[in-house]
Structure 1
């Protein structure tokens, strides 16, 4: 078990380093290192190297062709819904365009998820939304983490939609929200708007899909306004 865990840790460590390097343009204009080069650089076995490269390929970052070797894929081929890829993209120099694109996706998903949650009726997921809201209120008093509380609320709404396709966005939304919320909170000089989030929960709890959609749209719309304003000031 120990050897297996150690090998897995080496693989994920290699994946993390190489993934970040690819996304930040470290290999632009040049070929990706060979298996021998990578094995020597990271002082790992060929098995570890192959597994890391296989994972990067699955994420759309690399491609292997006969005689051409392993090469870096253009950004248009990256699996941007993959939480690791999205995290690496967001960790590089802050891109307001990327934040805008992400929130445009949110505006297409989360308001509808809120409406579906209201239409679905009471379920155990409602308790998770309320718990997220309570955490946000506690965070306002310094008793919880504002970022984690906000994320918990939005993920709970996705889960309450009872739509398995929306649930697939859970990890992606959580990953991207960490950067988006940090940006907007820093720009606004305060944490999330608790009353606005409470309006979403109240509408869901009341079984009012129109009000739930409207309330969630308002939250994301405010974020888009801050991004637009910040972009003008650049």
Structure 2
């Protein structure tokens, strides 16, 4: 019987456990156990199973139809911006291909967010970016504090853009950063250089230079993307 997280009710616990299992690809095909089998596996009632199935269906992970049973949906149907799916993807140790896709989306979002921040951010929001930068500067290399400060830096820029749609992407950006930074920072191995690259973005925003802010953020993410692409090439060459 699966051990379910006590911080959730029965249906929510089952959603967490089953969702992670699906994301990790632990089922050999697209079929899930029957409702009765899920009751047995998770030690919950049929009503709890049905509620969990409804929640996972809303995330695009599964479908449940009469005479077809509960089936895993194709990945292109998954709501990958859902915070739970993002977290499960992180916990499943994503491939370099997924990391590359994360970074490609960041390139489409964050340089423009930095440009908007240079135009529209008030002093309070610029101070929040500076505070995160200072926390990065003072943190030990590759420490938890360093990672959290780096994430806070990028999320602060989303808020500073004053664009409600960019701000709503904070969960996606946080997860993408949590995955990619932990992979690229040890490879780069230059904490002071990483901090100074972030400082260039901050200074451009503080000095109200939208184009420089945009290009500095683009260079920051593009360097991480190059690291990932080099790793992919190495993996393919080793096959």
TM-score by length of structure 1 reads: 0.90
| Alpha-carbon offset, residue 156 of structure 1 | 0.4
Written as runs of structure 1 = structure 2, the 5 A alignment for 1:76-91 is 76-91=76-91
For structure 2, the 5+ residue unaligned runs are none
Partner of 2:104: 104
User: 1:135·1:144 contact (CA, 8 Å) conserved in 2?
Assistant: no
Question: Aligned pair in 2 of structure 1 residues 199, 7: CA closer, same or farther (>3 Å)?
Answer: closer
Question: Aligned pair in 2 of structure 1 residues 193, 63: CA closer, same or farther (>3 Å)?
Answer: same
User: 1:199·1:215 contact (CA, 8 Å) conserved in 2?
Assistant: yes
User: 1:121·1:207 contact (CA, 8 Å) conserved in 2?
Assistant: no
SS at match of 1:203: helix
Partners of 1:143 and 1:64 lie apart in 2 by 43
Partners of 2:10 and 2:154 lie apart in 1 by 33
Partner of 1:159: 159
Partner of 2:70: 70
Partners of 1:131 and 1:90 lie apart in 2 by 26
- Paired residue total: 230
Matched, 1:202 2:203: yes
SS at match of 1:136: helix
Partner of 2:34: 34
SS at match of 1:64: strand
Question: Aligned pair in 2 of structure 1 residues 131, 108: CA closer, same or farther (>3 Å)?
Answer: same
Written as runs of structure 1 = structure 2, the 5 A alignment for 1:119-130 is 119-130=119-130
Q: Which moved more, 1:131-140 or 1:21-30?
A: 21-30
TM-score by length of structure 2 reads: 0.88
Question: Aligned pair in 2 of structure 1 residues 105, 141: CA closer, same or farther (>3 Å)?
Answer: closer
Partner of 1:118: 118
User: 2:6·2:13 contact (CA, 8 Å) conserved in 1?
Assistant: no
Partner of 2:131: 131
Partner of 2:18: 18
User: 1:136·1:144 contact (CA, 8 Å) conserved in 2?
Assistant: no
User: 2:61·2:78 contact (CA, 8 Å) conserved in 1?
Assistant: yes
User: 1:123·1:160 contact (CA, 8 Å) conserved in 2?
Assistant: no
Q: Which moved more, 1:112-121 or 1:34-43?
A: 34-43
User: 1:15·1:52 contact (CA, 8 Å) conserved in 2?
Assistant: yes
Partner of 1:147: 147
SS at match of 1:8: coil
For structure 1, the 5+ residue unaligned runs are none
Question: Aligned pair in 2 of structure 1 residues 23, 200: CA closer, same or farther (>3 Å)?
Answer: same
Question: Aligned pair in 2 of structure 1 residues 182, 37: CA closer, same or farther (>3 Å)?
Answer: same
The Cα offsets for residues 110-159 of structure 1, whole Å up to 9 and x where unpaired, read as 00000001110424222211111111011148997111010000000011
SS at match of 1:193: helix
Provide the aligned C-alpha RMSD in A: 2.2
